[in-house]
Structure 1
Amino acid sequence: MLLRSLFLIPIISSINVLAVADSLATATVQADGTIQSHIDDDVQSKLIGSLPLNKFYINGKWVDPISGQPEFFELVDPSTAKVVAKVALGSPQDVNAAVLAAKEAWPSWNYDTSPKERQRLVKRLLEVYTTRMDDMAMLVSTEMGSPIEAALSSHVGGGRGNIWSALNMAKTDFEFERPLPNIYPNEGDEQLTTILYEAVGVVGMITPWNWPLNQITLKVIPALLVGCTAVLKPSEESPLSALLFAELMHEAGFPPGVFNLVSGDGPTTGDAVTRNPNVDMISFTGSTRAGKQVAANAAMNLKKTSLELGGKGANILFADVGDEWMAEAVVEGVESVFFNSGQSCNAPTRMFVERPYYDEAIGLAKSVAEETVVGSAHLPGDNHIGPVVNERQYNRIQQLIQTGIDEGATLVAGGLGRPDNLHDTAGFYVKPTVFADCTTNMTIMQEEIFGPVLCITPFDSEEEVLEMANDTPYGLTNYVQSRRLDRRRRMALRLRSGMVEMNDAYGNAGSPFGGVKGSGYGREGGVYGMEEFCIIKAITGYDVSNDDMEEE
């Protein structure tokens, strides 16, 4: 199912959802075991008020901004368009303090702290994280508009899955020391060279608002497990869950300076992280435009960079799948685009349908869009999508929908404005929208919309659809539906993307996540994600015994 492939997480059966439900603000466990909950305004205010909104986590302590008079970001709940918090924005001086703390902590954390001790602390984090999943879900729902059930199961559950997965990879699959492969012309010779994967050092991490905990845990946990120290700058649009995450890191007992957090915006705080000369690596997830600036800043000090950027996934549906499979693939493809209100970089937003099924696909997509319920993230249930993150994003989506109409795409469902049931409601609600008869030169086929908007295009041959699918500045994830193994293999080899998912299969735990072209470079998840935070050192004579040599 395509919907499941939207996450780089394992499905963790050990999450006790019923136990979590007991501590939700207002929750009812249904007969089938699902949770029905909603956000209570008083509980929401109390939880947000308990967070250190005007402080940064540096060197194991919550500290005031250095200036004493910081600027603040007004965080708006996208379901209500009301300000729910004011969060301090870090200055370059605050960033530098965090970086120096991380730099000072790194030698002890990397050289003197054993991998087993690092794993013990991460295991402790997993335990305390699990006890606060309900609070995390409320904060994610409040800051970025995910319905509370999705916030709990997908966002917060995904973060837990990432911690669990990285911990187990570190225990069983990651090797710091590796022998040089026995390759020509060394075949048969004594192997004198050892390859050492060594922590890169201080890592500056900049995370997005659309999957806040997923991205924080995909960066922080693998980096710390291999011996790096971290300075996290979460998105100013989703700072609340990051602040609570920092509290949990403190509760878990990580040494001072190993993990640091400075909240702030991109132009000031993020820029300071990327330019700081004592930062050894930048791990960034965000837009392609911002990623280019991050890479340029990092290049000034020759920092290592890992960039997970935008996407414009193609979902290619071949007629050989037949009637039933095609219908299921269309429905699931549309639902996958609308999930998280379209705010996922690997969403299959371009649907290419082989011509015999094109008209049927349009009709099915129209039905799914018209049946998709849009509502407040505070409401119970998992059968609706929430708002988009803010007014700026709402306006951008409206502009792109208008551009699609102006450039000649056929509007099948949705369109401009709020859904009819929310026409007079505050909040940033977008109509689930479907366009047909889209061509690759249209703006809506080239730009990442980041909203619940699907573009459908017919094709007549493999060659044609490959050319259209690859005609994009992005290259993150593409999807293929076909019964023919030879066809699937040809498509997988020729699609220009970091990932190709076929026939509803989804990446296993440990599968690398990342793209090519405008989608960035570097990989997250599994052993590959741990290696990303390492440098490779070749050591000759490391394991050679020289008993005849005198020791000093």
Structure 2
Amino acid sequence: MINKREFYINGEWVAPAQANDLDVIDPSTEEVCAVISLGNQADTDAAVSAAKQAFDSWSQTPKAERLAVLERIADIYKSREAEMAQAISTEMGAPIDMALNSQASSGSWHIRNFIKAFKDFDFEQALNDHTPNDRILYEPIGVCGLITPWNWPMNQVSLKVIPALATGNTMVLKPSEIAPLSSLLFAEIIHEAGVPAGVFNLVNGDGVGVGSQLTLHPDVDMISFTGSTRAGTAISKNAADTIKRVSLELGGKGANIVFADADEAAVKRGVMHCFSNTGQSCNAPTRMLVERSIYDQAVETAIETAANASVGHSAEHGRHIGPVVSQMQFDKIQHLIGVGIDEGARLIAGGLGRPDGLDKGYFIKPTIFADVNNQMQIAREEVFGPVLTMIPFDTEEEAIQIANDTPYGLTNYVQTQDGAKANRVARRLRSGMVEMNGKSRSAGSPFGGYKQSGNGREGGIWGLEDFLEVKAISGWTPE
């Protein structure tokens, strides 16, 4: 069993102020795979103090020096990517091939993309061509509390830590206590890369403990949080007393609009996208809206796709679906599947209980409900598991109305070979992102949502700007 009880504070691995052990559970086996410590107020205070003391020096470090640090992090991370994949697979259940090819590699991808954006970013700019004595400066906010989730651990850690470092901020990272092993490895990478003491700190803890302590702390200038909308609401309230900058990436209930003229692979692609990462992605296309003229065929295709989706242990190689992360998630998803059945939705794949042959581990049957209406709970609540709802529509206007009829607004999807229609619908969808016809967004594209899916944007120049203050100066002497 792995022993990871220490925190990373002020450039050193230190024991917690008070022993408070927590078992980390392998979701494929339900067995303890590691033990960590949960921090308390003294640990949080020590980490924030270290970050505060390091801020003046790090914030004034020349851009070239910060760039060199980022490039060392990128190189070391790449050299330990297989180790990172193993940690992620063990802690949150991603099948090992997916952990290597998607989960761990997302960290490398974001680090390199931020390096590119950082190289081109001008921290001192003229107001415009006609105001030679005015300057706009982009300056670091200060001490940042970074709170990251378990479902895409390195994706989210890299989207927060790297731009915070690049822009001259110091920070305290609180990773998910459910899946902390990858972040502890990331702290080792940070140390090996020579990030100055106090600039990056890590304290393990839960949301009620260290999470709340960071959001309430008077010396924390910004909170960047990824997680549930419920938790994001609580963080916003806590942060209000000290007027912190708050950046939130929250839940989603993405609509995937499949028009009659969609390409042949659209339905299968949408089903597998929903099931990817065992449905544990905030931007998953969990509501498939299908034009009525092809609805029956789409249902048959969805049934066939679900039947061909295999479920298995995270240590096994292959393109199967792993477990969900915890007993709590398993119980929540089972409850919502039961709700869908009780609401009268037509269960066409999966259902309650574990898949055949898997009597241990947090495994969920890939589940699809057809004939859903958008007022059902399973169409409105984020399930965060491999559960798809299918809803028919008759007109373009109706599809847009259904898609937008949600408190969320993270990612929506459009499937049609009519380019003008695709663009027209994309403009009207109330979400921070729209993906069309299976084309992923490019490197440097901003990630974030409307409405209760959060605020702020991660990735590219927008991700850098999230961690910067804007200062306007008059009377500047051109140099």
Q: What range describes the TM-score normalised by the shorter chain of this pair?
A: over 0.9
Give the length in aligned residue pairs.
479
Amino acid of the residue matched to residue 268 of structure 2?
A: V
Once the two structures are TM-superposed, the CA of residue 181 in structure 1 deviates from its matched residue by: 3.5
Once the two structures are TM-superposed, the CA of residue 485 in structure 1 deviates from its matched residue by: 2.7
Once the two structures are TM-superposed, the CA of residue 444 in structure 1 deviates from its matched residue by: 0.5
1:432 aligns to 2:355 (yes or no): no
**Alignment match of 2:345 (pick from 404, 409, 417):** 409
Amino acid of the residue matched to residue 31 of structure 2?
A: K
> What CA deviation, in whole Å up to 9, does each residue of 1:162-207 have, x standing for no partner?
1111112111x2111122245xxxxxx4443211111111110000
Amino acid of the residue matched to residue 432 of structure 2?
A: G
Aligned sequence identity (%): 55
**Distance (whole Å) between structure 1 residues aligned to residue 351 and residue 176 of structure 2:** 29
SS of the residue aligned with 1:373?
Answer: coil
Once the two structures are TM-superposed, the CA of residue 365 in structure 1 deviates from its matched residue by: 0.6
**Distance (whole Å) between structure 2 residues aligned to residue 385 and residue 129 of structure 1:** 26
1:305 aligns to 2:305 (yes or no): no
> What CA deviation, in whole Å up to 9, does each residue of 1:451-510 have, x standing for no partner?
000000111101111111011110000001122233222211211100111122221111
Equivalent in the alignment of 2:423: 489
Once the two structures are TM-superposed, the CA of residue 368 in structure 1 deviates from its matched residue by: 0.8
**Distance (whole Å) between structure 1 residues aligned to residue 5 and residue 162 of structure 2:** 25
SS of the residue aligned with 2:13?
Answer: strand
Equivalent in the alignment of 1:62: 13
- Structure 1: which 5+ runs fail to align? 1-44, 183-188, 546-552
> Conserved in 1, the CA contact under 8 Å of 2:309 and 2:366?
yes
> Conserved in 1, the CA contact under 8 Å of 2:132 and 2:478?
no
**Distance (whole Å) between structure 2 residues aligned to residue 467 and residue 118 of structure 1:** 47
> What CA deviation, in whole Å up to 9, does each residue of 1:403-427 have, x standing for no partner?
00101110000000000121xx210
1:518 aligns to 2:452 (yes or no): yes
Equivalent in the alignment of 2:385: 451
**Distance (whole Å) between structure 2 residues aligned to residue 522 and residue 202 of structure 1:** 18
Amino acid of the residue matched to residue 427 of structure 2?
A: L
**Distance (whole Å) between structure 1 residues aligned to residue 477 and residue 431 of structure 2:** 40
Once the two structures are TM-superposed, the CA of residue 153 in structure 1 deviates from its matched residue by: 0.9
Give the RMSD, CA atoms, in angstroms.
Answer: 1.1
Equivalent in the alignment of 1:124: 72
Equivalent in the alignment of 1:400: 336
Amino acid of the residue matched to residue 365 of structure 2?
A: K
Amino acid of the residue matched to residue 487 of structure 1?
A: K
- The verdict on how the C-alpha distance between 1:415 and 1:120 changes in structure 2, with shifts beyond 3 A counting, is same
**Alignment match of 2:23 (pick from 70, 74, 83):** 74
**Alignment match of 2:87 (pick from 139, 160, 177):** 139
**Alignment match of 1:97 (pick from 46, 49, 65):** 46
Amino acid of the residue matched to residue 397 of structure 2?
A: E
**Distance (whole Å) between structure 1 residues aligned to residue 115 and residue 247 of structure 2:** 21
1:390 aligns to 2:326 (yes or no): yes
**Distance (whole Å) between structure 2 residues aligned to residue 303 and residue 232 of structure 1:** 16
Equivalent in the alignment of 1:197: 138
Equivalent in the alignment of 2:32: 83
**Distance (whole Å) between structure 2 residues aligned to residue 396 and residue 97 of structure 1:** 36
SS of the residue aligned with 1:93?
Answer: helix
Matches of residues 495-514 of structure 1 in structure 2 within 5 Å? 495-514=429-448
> Conserved in 1, the CA contact under 8 Å of 2:280 and 2:384?
yes
Matches of residues 224-373 of structure 1 in structure 2 within 5 Å? 224-321=165-262, 325=263, 327-373=264-310
- Structure 2: which 5+ runs fail to align? none
> Conserved in 1, the CA contact under 8 Å of 2:58 and 2:199?
yes
**Distance (whole Å) between structure 1 residues aligned to residue 131 and residue 431 of structure 2:** 40
**Distance (whole Å) between structure 2 residues aligned to residue 505 and residue 147 of structure 1:** 24
**Distance (whole Å) between structure 1 residues aligned to residue 172 and residue 476 of structure 2:** 33
**Distance (whole Å) between structure 2 residues aligned to residue 386 and residue 544 of structure 1:** 59
Amino acid of the residue matched to residue 208 of structure 1?
A: P
Equivalent in the alignment of 2:316: 379
Amino acid of the residue matched to residue 536 of structure 1?
A: V
Amino acid of the residue matched to residue 377 of structure 1?
A: S
1:159 aligns to 2:107 (yes or no): yes
SS of the residue aligned with 2:265?
Answer: helix
SS of the residue aligned with 1:420?
Answer: coil
**Distance (whole Å) between structure 1 residues aligned to residue 125 and residue 432 of structure 2:** 26
**Alignment match of 1:110 (pick from 59, 74, 90):** 59
> Conserved in 1, the CA contact under 8 Å of 2:132 and 2:476?
no
> What CA deviation, in whole Å up to 9, does each residue of 1:261-306 have, x standing for no partner?
0001110110001111000000000000000001111111000010
- The verdict on how the C-alpha distance between 1:544 and 1:135 changes in structure 2, with shifts beyond 3 A counting, is closer
> Conserved in 1, the CA contact under 8 Å of 2:28 and 2:323?
yes
TM-score, normalising length from structure 2?
A: 0.98
**Distance (whole Å) between structure 1 residues aligned to residue 473 and residue 93 of structure 2:** 50
**Distance (whole Å) between structure 2 residues aligned to residue 150 and residue 513 of structure 1:** 21
Once the two structures are TM-superposed, the CA of residue 357 in structure 1 deviates from its matched residue by: 0.7
**Distance (whole Å) between structure 2 residues aligned to residue 233 and residue 366 of structure 1:** 40
For the pair shown, the structure with the greater C-alpha radius of gyration is 1
> Conserved in 1, the CA contact under 8 Å of 2:324 and 2:363?
yes
TM-score, normalising length from structure 1?
A: 0.85
SS of the residue aligned with 1:416?
Answer: coil
Equivalent in the alignment of 1:42: none
SS of the residue aligned with 2:269?
Answer: helix
Equivalent in the alignment of 1:19: none
**Distance (whole Å) between structure 1 residues aligned to residue 152 and residue 131 of structure 2:** 49
SS of the residue aligned with 1:539?
Answer: strand
**Distance (whole Å) between structure 1 residues aligned to residue 231 and residue 58 of structure 2:** 31
> What CA deviation, in whole Å up to 9, does each residue of 1:191-235 have, x standing for no partner?
432111111111100000000011000100011001001100000
> What CA deviation, in whole Å up to 9, does each residue of 1:236-255 have, x standing for no partner?
01110111110111111110
> What CA deviation, in whole Å up to 9, does each residue of 1:299-346 have, x standing for no partner?
11000010000000000011123xxx1x30000100001110000000
